Amino acid sequence: MSGRVGQCQRMTSETDLSVVVNLDGTGVAKVSTGIGFLDHMLTALAKHSRIDIELKCVGDLHVDDHHTAEDSALGLGAAIDQALGDRAGVKRFGSAYAPLDEALARAVVDLSGRPFTSVGLGLARGMIGTLACENVGHFFSSMATAGRMTLHVDVIKGINDHHRAEAAFKAVALALREAVRVEGGGVPSTKGVL
């Protein structure tokens, strides 16, 4: 891979994870987590952010999906953070709306170096496929923490939880696509550092 590339490898008693991202990619996803819906969301994230994502996670799915979802998010965030380097020249801020049929989501990101997440998805089901709905929001929070970014994600309306979650991932993807774009030479902060 050429361009702004970051990677993360992490092995614990719960997961064995490898992630590589290219911020200057074309949206190619090679993902395998053992959780079909999470793979679907990561593929959408890659496609719409145009960030190439290679992610493989072998987790303790015999326990449940939490460790795999969380560590995949932490690894992805860490790889994005590494690829951003000192963040010089990036736009820094990004925002987007994304619909999926009746669902509409909004995401706002700031590559501030300060992790914070506010997530309101309004998911009603316990599970989407084999991914617990509580882990959808937790994914965003974990990714933002490891990626040292502020992330606000809200699903404004929608009935179908699959649509609500996918609209949220697509909105985050579009906001990230805007925020990581290089458009200047200096660090976009009055402090001179992010």
Instruction: Check residue 1 and give its pLDDT.
Output: 58
The residue range of the domain holding 17 is 5-179
| Residue 185 included in any domain | no
Q: Which residues contact 65 (CB under 8 A, 6 or more apart)?
A: 35, 38, 59, 130, 131, 132, 135
Confidence of residue 2 (pLDDT cuts 50, 70, 90): low
Tell me the chain's radius of gyration from C-alpha atoms: 16
How many Å is the maximal CA-CA distance in the chain? 48
In a domain? residue 189: no
CATH of the domain at 24: 3.30.230.40
Q: Kindly state the average pLDDT of the residues 55-71.
A: 98
Q: Is residue 16 domain-resident?
A: yes
CA atoms within 13 A on the CB side of 65: 22
Give domain status of residue 129, yes or no: yes
Residue 190 covered by a domain: no
- 8 strand-pairing partners: 19
Residue 5 pairs with which residues in a beta bridge?
22
Decide if pLDDT at 184 tops 90.
no
How does the average pLDDT of the chain come out, rounded? 96
- How many domains, in total, are found in the chain? 1
The 10s digit of each residue's pLDDT in 65-100 is: 999 999 999 999 999 999 999 999 999 999 999 999
Residue 69 lies in a domain: yes
Query: In b/e form, how buried is each residue of 131-143, taking b as 16+ CB within 10 angstroms?
Result: bbbebbbbbbbbb
Reported pTM: 0.96
Q: What is the pLDDT of residues 109-118, one digit of tens each?
A: 999 999 999 9
15: in domain: yes
Task: Tell me whether residue 188 is in a domain.
Answer: no
